Chains A and B, each alone.
Chain A
Amino acid sequence: GQQLNQSPQSMFIQEGEDVSMNCTSSSIFNTWLWYKQDPGEGPVLLIALYKAGELTSNGRLTAQFGITRKDSFLNISASIPSDVGIYFCAGQRPGGQNFVFGPGTRLSVLP
């Protein structure tokens, strides 16, 4: 079953608005990744976080590794139509080799 929770499940926003989504778990993770998936494509890595408290930006995207190591958030500023897609968080547990993925947040941007 799912070990990561993402919220919101889906969101509709106006073009130009900022977006915030998060990912939580009951377990500690050593690494957090954020991916975006477009229809018919595989997920594409947006941001990787490796240390608790780390705040990392990639253009209009900013993500943070929560201090408790049990959560992470992703912000998108000044959204544009091409931001539409599904955003997945993924976490790697201490000593783990694979990543556990959340169920995703589906983002729709209205013109």
Chain B
Amino acid sequence: GAGVSQSPSNKVTEKGKDVELRCDPISGHTALYWYRQRLGQGLEFLIYFQGNSAPDKSGLPSDRFSAERTGESVSTLTIQRTQQEDSAVYLCASTRGGGGYGYTFGSGTRLTVV
């Protein structure tokens, strides 16, 4: 597509439930990133996918967080047993290659855990 598409745009969930967030990158972009943005804060790196290489999971805050991507297509970020501190905007970005091309971001999924 023309841009990075994320769904849902908003998600309200009860504490303890699992959630799945979806990201559709720009066609042909081999690299895909997930970031978390808490209210009034900067962006916190979560995970990076590059082609078929093993993902860089160094930013995932706990084992409740996981992400998958098949090839160079859609990615899903899963948060299990959600906690209130998981409330944030989750941003996905893609780029033509790893390294310094700069990302194109989606509009994010605003997650609220009640």
Residue ranges of A at the interface with B (Cβ–Cβ < 8 Å): 2, 4, 30-31, 33, 35, 40-45, 48, 50, 88, 90, 92, 97-104
Contacts and interface: CB of A to CB of B under 8 A. Distances in A.
Contacts of B98: 97
A42 B4 contact: yes
B108 interface: yes
Interface string B51-72: 0000010010000000000000
A45 B104 contact: yes
A40 B42 contact: no
Given A48-B101, A98-B59, A101-B35, 12 more contacts: A30-B100, A31-B99, A41-B107, A41-B108, A42-B91, A42-B105, A43-B105, A44-B105, A88-B43, A99-B45, A104-B41, A104-B42
A48 B48 contact: no
Nearest to B31: A97
Given A42-B107, A43-B105, A48 B45 contact: no
Nearest to B44: A101
A42 B42 contact: no
Contact of B100 (A43, A50, A88, A100): A50
Contacts of B42: 2, 4, 88, 101-104
